[in-house]
Each structure stands twice: as C-alpha cells, then as structure tokens.
Amino acid sequence: MTLGILGPEVSWYLAVAAFLFATGALGVLLRRSPLIVLLSLEIMLNGANLALIAFARHQGNGAGQIFALAVMAVAASEVVVGLGLIVAISRRNLDLDVDKLRTLRG
C-alpha cells in the first residue's frame, strides 16, 4: 500500500539527495582542511539520509526512516571522534592539512 505523498514526486527528492551527495563527495576529494572534509562527509551522509527517507515514504515502509535515525547517530559519534582528532592535531601545532598527514605511507 502507498501512503499519499504530499508534495513533489520522489524523483525530485532523489535529485536533491544526489546533489547533496555529490557536493559532499567533491568537498571530501578536493578540500585539504580536515575540518571541511569532515563537514563534507556530513553533507554526504545527509544526502544519503534524504534518499532513504524519500524511498521510505514512497514505499510506505517505516524501516528507511529508522535507518536514517541510525545513520544520524553514527554521524554524530563520527563527528565526535573526528573533531577530537582535529583538536589533538592542532594542539600539537601540526598543519591542519590532510595532505601533510601521511605517516601511514607505505
């Protein structure tokens, strides 16, 4: 069964979600500041969340919404860890530049 969708078609939601995801991905790939990278990650996650919720409404299935809640919780904890790392890096007076943090080079 389908719930009546108020507002635009599901494809519009997906277009916005794809736009958000692409913006975030570009940010992750192009920006050097870890703070901005983290921010862009959040935008990607939100794009994905939007798609989840749009499909959930379209299918009339609550699971997608619950999943989006879980993603938010994960995103929040990720931000905590990521910001913590960034604070630690700046405390050591290291450059806040992801290209210079390459101690894991083989």
Is residue 37 part of the contact set for other proteins (CB under 8 A)? yes
Query: For 38-85, what is the HEC assignment?
Result: HHHHHHHHHHHHHHHHHHHHHHCCCHHHHHHHHHHHHHHHHHHHHHHH
| Nearer CB in complex with other proteins: 66/85 | 85
SS3 at position 28? helix
Q: Binding segment for other proteins among 7-15, 67-75, 85-93, 98-106 (CB under 8 A)?
A: 98-106
| Nearer CB in complex with other proteins: 37/52 | 37
Least CB distance to other proteins at residue 57 (A): 24
Q: What is the torsional sign of CA 88, 91, 97, 102?
A: negative
Name the residues that contact other proteins, by CB under 8 A: 25, 28-30, 32, 37, 98-99, 101-106
